[in-house]
Structure 1
């Protein structure tokens, strides 16, 4: 039975979410169709470009992504404070980057004089758009509708392309965020379509590694790493980038070579800060998609009222 979005997504519970959208057709979204002898690999770039473009317009940051043959993963951060600081003009510019605006708003943007009633109506629409700019449902809708339309046009057909609803998981603490990001970035390695993170095409980890190699200071569309939590913490993921890359590399080698716990002396420092040991971390990374809530038992209990739930459910990460 499907759950209401209010029980899955609540900014009061957490700004971080892991989302998965899957294709319903037998043919692959981005893979190679053996029966038709046709490749759809070029569609990976469609999703990547759309995802990062929307991140530039919405107040939703992309922490991690992986685009697979018949589904894609994203770890998203809802940036409510950023939305609050946007002027009305900035809200309109961001929303109209992907929509046709009504004539009233076009007049507002042109600086035309509006009546009191028109101004009130215009402000109502803008405030509704401001809310949508922090809505994961709208964010995912604008990815999937666009890709479905393009794929249907290419396939010369109509009908559903995606499952009716995307899956979302609330990531309640730093442990859950780190585990979900590593899980997403390692999808191609686990699926045996890439040998290492740096060769995993259409993933955020490869994009970040490529940016380092080309001396890019920032990467458009991706939420930056802000370093370990401290006073005057800047906006960003609460880890150090190099710690995270070491963590992903170490985790990928453990899962692929089945060396669980064999090289504990090489554990990345990020695991120590988060309070993980090798065994519990690897178990978490292989089971991250279980349940709609991910976090320690304490974090899950605290989040239940915000997610309109009464029962303790979801994937519980060990506290120690």
Structure 2
């Protein structure tokens, strides 16, 4: 069964949650130490994390979970057209120009000016297209992948493809599937024997949340959502040597806003706020992420306890503690199958374009005009 079209899996016009995987094409590692050449590519993990953090501040897309592995990246994304609808035309134009400044004669002209923003605002047809793209998961992945590929090629002094192709996408259709997929993503380094616990797995969302709970802060990589005054930009162009401005821009881009943020401040909060009306988009106002809406009906402490327990026991035949079993059962998960799902994820959902309980997968297949999704029968063994 061929992979379904992107338009069937997600749309920028409706809220949907998607598990995305992007894999490196080369024998050389995406990140980590290449056992053949001995080269250390570990710094690329932070390139990718910081790029995701930057994009989280401008796209109307929530980053729920992620992990950066040696040869591939996992991200769970939720697009938010409801948040996008609250943004003014000027906001949309500025956010777009921060990521896609267009063709410029000089690198130091890449920062958008007030005139650039107003010029784009006046082009209503283009602005309509751009507004839709800011909630499009495909455009988010393009903005993530292309700069990383260019930077890696420059460091490696080579040309050609860096990623093996377009990202793989799996639509997540219920909270049960979301919890399972989120834990699979967070525990990838443990499953790969790169770490012994989520607490020791940098460049994963679990690690970021655990460190943030301790008060750990980092320099923010969020874009500074303020246009440069046109007159100031013109004066800088006339009076400042190009090389000097390039050096200043390079320093500024390392921390554009000059602020610090909790290590998970750019990620979507984990627990859902049951006291908030579902129609409220919960737009984020501090400039680090799209919204303040959570995505799971359990607390961060319960989620971390569950992660640590699965990481410790792996696929051993050890009874699940009653307190954790109640949490799983309340979400419709077969306790006896839980570790099996997380530890052998690809056997159940590796070839599926959809993740969730069998009835949810069936409903999604009917939505797209199909009779079934691959993996439905295996999903029935996992969930109650």
Q: TM-score interval w.r.t. the shorter chain?
A: 0.7 to 0.9
Change (3 A) 1:284 1:71: same
Q: Does 1:311 align with 2:368?
A: no
| Of 276, 295, 301, the match for 2:333 | 276
Deviates more, 1:127-136 or 1:147-156: 127-136
Counterpart position of 2:296? 238
Say if 2:325 and 2:335, in contact at 8 Å, map to a contact too: no
Counterpart position of 1:173? 174
Per-residue deviation, 1:93: 1.3
Counterpart position of 1:158? 159
Change (3 A) 1:269 1:62: farther
Counterpart position of 2:137? 136
Change (3 A) 1:305 1:89: farther
Distance 1:19 1:129 in 2: 22
Change (3 A) 1:12 1:299: farther
Paired positions, count: 310
Distance 1:13 1:134 in 2: 9
Counterpart position of 1:302? 363
After superposition, residues 163-242 of structure 1 pair within 5 angstroms as: 163-214=164-215, 219-227=264-272, 229=274, 232=277, 235-239=293-297, 240-242=299-301
Per-residue deviation, 1:58: 0.5
Per-residue deviation, 1:261: 4.5
After superposition, residues 40-189 of structure 1 pair within 5 angstroms as: 40-101=41-102, 119=122, 122-189=123-190
Distance 1:211 1:179 in 2: 22
Per-residue deviation, 1:253: 2.2
- Deviations along 1:182-203, one digit per CA (max 9) or x if unpaired, are 0000000000010100100100
Distance 1:173 1:51 in 2: 24
Deviates more, 1:283-292 or 1:54-63: 283-292
Secondary structure of the residue aligned to 2:208 is helix
Task: Extract unaligned runs of 5+ from structure 1.
Answer: none
Say if 1:13 and 1:172, in contact at 8 Å, map to a contact too: no
Deviates more, 1:218-227 or 1:179-188: 218-227
Say if 1:246 and 1:268, in contact at 8 Å, map to a contact too: no
Per-residue deviation, 1:3: 3.2
Distance 1:110 1:83 in 2: 17
| TM-score (norm. length: structure 2) | 0.74
Counterpart position of 2:8? 7
Per-residue deviation, 1:226: 3.3
Per-residue deviation, 1:243: 1.8
Per-residue deviation, 1:8: 2.5
- Deviations along 1:5-27, one digit per CA (max 9) or x if unpaired, are 12332468861110000001010
Say if 1:247 and 1:268, in contact at 8 Å, map to a contact too: no
Distance 1:110 1:197 in 2: 43
Distance 1:74 1:269 in 2: 28
Change (3 A) 1:267 1:124: same
Say if 1:19 and 1:168, in contact at 8 Å, map to a contact too: yes
Task: Extract unaligned runs of 5+ from structure 2.
Answer: 105-111, 218-260, 283-292
- Deviations along 1:74-127, one digit per CA (max 9) or x if unpaired, are 011111100111110111111111111589x96765657x9xxx94xx111111
Change (3 A) 1:265 1:22: same
Say if 1:261 and 1:278, in contact at 8 Å, map to a contact too: no
| TM-score (norm. length: structure 1) | 0.88
Give the CA RMSD over aligned residues.
2.6
Say if 1:56 and 1:220, in contact at 8 Å, map to a contact too: no
Secondary structure of the residue aligned to 1:162 is coil
